[in-house]
Structure 1
Amino acid sequence: MTVKILADSACDLSENHYKTYDIEMVPLTVHLDDQEYKDSIEIKPKTVYDAMREGKTPKTSQVSPQAFKAIFTSYAEENQPLVYLAFSSELSGTYQTAKMMEQEVKESYPEAELHVVDSKCASIGYGLVVLRAAQLAKDGAGTDEIMETAVYHAKYMEHIFTVDDLEYLYRGGRVSKTAAFVGSFLKIRPILHVDDGKLIPLEKIRGTKKLHKRMFDIIEERGKDFSNQTIGISHGDDYETAKKIADAIEEKFNPEDILIEMVGSTIGAHAGPGTIAIFFLNNDYK
């Protein structure tokens, strides 16, 4: 039986991707104006970004244990193999919740082929890992091959990103109030990346042109062979900048493909509008 791939909404893939590759998606929750919304189903990123521009502070919460239990139970009952690739455990409790529910369901269905994998990735970096797993599943690969390849892609997936306003990271507890104020005043923008699932600041750059040039330098320094891989770009409601960066990447690195998506509500609620992120493998494509 074909292996089913499950992802959560923090992978920032489009509905078209879910349909094309038969990926099931479980949404995280966005809290805005005292209301709860299922990410990407009941609320779209644009709504979140517009609210943030108005000074509002949306919050997010992980997938509930009940949601995972229902999904895992349904696959166990049908005896269909399921691989859930989870949003980084360093950025959300969703992975830990899924692991608990996996064990609980397996107490009732000990033969169930349920597998929960911590991607340690976010946004389209996470989405690219999910897509690779889904491609293999569609081609008839087994759970071992799918998980081995997904873990490899996750391990070598670079996340290079910047935010437009440090105030949003301050609200999310990522930088101090002083750093946010000084950064905004001096037009300083940080370059950050994800290391072993954790959000790590790399450098601070003053000026947009210097910032983009440095991001390209980092791609060149850390990247390897782009000819057979997809480079991902995600943006916080700034498609114009994302497209300019994509065109420059196409010209300079000539990757097999470039995937542009908006940063979804879950991550966007913390990073804010104007976020730009670039994702690529720093090792051979597998």
Structure 2
Amino acid sequence: MDPGRPLDAGRTALVVDSSCDVPPERRPANWRVVPIPVIFGDRAFADGVDIDAAAFYERLARAGRLPTTAQPSPGVLEDVMRRALEDHDSAVVLPLSGRMSGTVERARAAAEAVDPARTLVLESGSVTVALGLIALRLQALLERGCTAGEAAAHVAALSAAHRAVFTLETLEFLLRGGRIGRAQAVAGSLLRVRPILQILDGEVAPHSRVRGAHRVLPAIERFVAENSRDDRPLRVAYGHSRRPEVVPELEALVAGVRPLAVTELVAEVGPTVGTHAGPGAYVVAFVHDPPAPHGGGDPS
């Protein structure tokens, strides 16, 4: 796509995949979602089409073997892009991190096959509600109007600046799913030690370990304080897998250290990411908006 091509929310589809945990009721009308296959045994379910979060976690509790995920097929990617371009002049595609999945490369190939002049594929460097946060901030820019080059620069800045911290009940799902990245170093010696993990450079990486569940929230609070500023609004997203009761606690601790924090998103972690995180996980993702194009302030 030509970097000077004008984009706006009315004429531009924003295509995400189902690892982007923004619930349907929060997705703007110009969004389209590529379903990622979630596989239990010999049955594959298209996330968000054949299975939702409630059905996924119910099935997970009964499963004899842990589920897996697969990349969406080239045909599915091309179909979603073609349908997006039937209703819009352009499409911006924002898959999960290329260091966690090959979906971004498949998306680039699909864009070449469909209409490279009207399709822009960007690297998000993230996943789950952190990816949702980046997508929502990109949507805010599209609603103001921008060029393709400005959209690409905005996402690159968000990808570099955003942070995400999370904890899991167990590393079993990440280990078996092969998505553990640099966090492999904390596996195998947990016992009552709880890992505090982060998304760093587009992959799961260790941050720290605490002994006892009661020390997890203070560790997350420190992470937020150490990785954000108190003089600028902070955009925040909260995610959980079957742990909704923890969200008010997370919001309170973030507000305590960052009174200018704005909650952009609260969501349950869906089947795609839940396959690798398992139940009982929760995450806080946050970013300060980079300077907006045209010399204006932060996009609202």
Q: TM-score range by the shorter chain?
A: 0.7 to 0.9
Match of 2:164, SS?
Answer: strand
Alignment of 1:237 with 2:237, yes or no, is no
What's the offset of the Cα at 1:140? 3.1
Corresponding residue number in structure 1 for 2:203: 198
Q: How many residues are paired up?
A: 278
Aligned to 2:266: 260
- TM-score, structure 1 normalization: 0.88
Stretch deviating more after TM superposition (241-250 or 151-160): 241-250
Q: In the alignment, what sits opposite 1:23?
A: 31
Distance in 1 (CA, whole Å) between partners of 2:60 and 2:235 is: 31
Matched, 1:276 2:285: no
Deviates more, 1:86-95 or 1:253-262: 253-262
Amino acid at match of 1:5: L
Equivalences for 1:111-126 in 2 at 5 Å?
A: 112-126=117-131
Task: Tell me which moved more, 25-34 or 246-255.
Answer: 246-255
Distance 1:46 1:53 in 2: 11
Match of 1:207, as an amino acid?
G
Asked whether the 8 Å contact 1:81–1:143 carries over to 2, the reply is: no
Question: Structure 2: 5+ residue runs without aligned partners?
Answer: 1-9, 292-297
User: What's the offset of the Cα at 1:265?
Assistant: 0.8
Q: CA deviation at 1:32?
A: 1.8
1:104 to 96, 106, 113: 113
Q: CA RMSD in A?
A: 2.5
Q: In structure 2, what is the equivalent of residue 72 of structure 1?
A: 81
User: Is the CA contact (8 Å cut-off) linking 2:163 and 2:198 kept in structure 1?
Assistant: yes
Quick check: 1:159 aligned with 2:167? no
Matches within 5 A, 1:3-42: 3-18=12-27, 20-42=28-50
Query: Which residue in the other structure is 2:66 paired with?
Result: 57
Letter in 1 for 2:262: E
- Opposite residue 30 of structure 1, the aligned amino acid is V
User: Are 1:86 and 2:91 counterparts?
Assistant: no
Q: Residues 76 and 44 (structure 1 numbering): CA distance in 2 closer, same or farther, change over 3 Å? A: closer
CA contact (8 A) 1:98 1:116 kept: yes
Tell which deviates more after alignment, 31-40 or 90-99.
31-40
- Which of 208, 211, 220 in structure 1 is aligned with 2:216? 211
**1:144–1:216 distance in 2 versus 1, CA, 3 Å:** same
Q: Give, in angstroms, the shift of residue 203 of structure 1.
A: 1.5
Deviation of residue 79 (structure 1)? Answer: 7.2
Deviation at residue 227 of structure 1 after TM alignment = 4.8
| Contact 1:30–1:39, Cα closer than 8 Å, also in 2 | yes
User: How far did residue 243 of structure 1 move?
Assistant: 2.3
Provide the secondary structure at the position in 2 that maps to 1:88: coil
8 Å Cα contact 1:21/1:134 also seen in 2: no
CA pair 140-284 structure 1, distance change in 2 beyond 3 A: closer
Distance in 2 of aligned mates of 1:213 and 1:21:
38
Deviations 1:73-98 (A, max 9, x none): 44556771111011101111110101
Per-residue deviation at 1:43?
A: 0.8
CA distance in 1, matches of 2:145, 2:238: 29
Query: How far does residue 221 in structure 1 lie from its aligned partner after superposition?
Result: 0.5
Identity of aligned residues (%): 26
- Residue 128 of structure 2 is aligned to residue 128 of structure 1: no
In the other structure, the counterpart of 2:7 is none
Note if contact 2:233-2:288 (Cα within 8 Å) is conserved in structure 1: no
Higher helix share: 1
1:22 counterpart letter in structure 2: N
Q: Measure how far apart 1:215 and its partner are.
A: 1.2
* 1:256 counterpart SS class: strand
Shift of 1:129: 0.8
Gaps of at least 5 residues in structure 1 are: none
Secondary structure of the residue aligned to 2:19 is: helix
Change (3 A) 1:79 1:275: closer
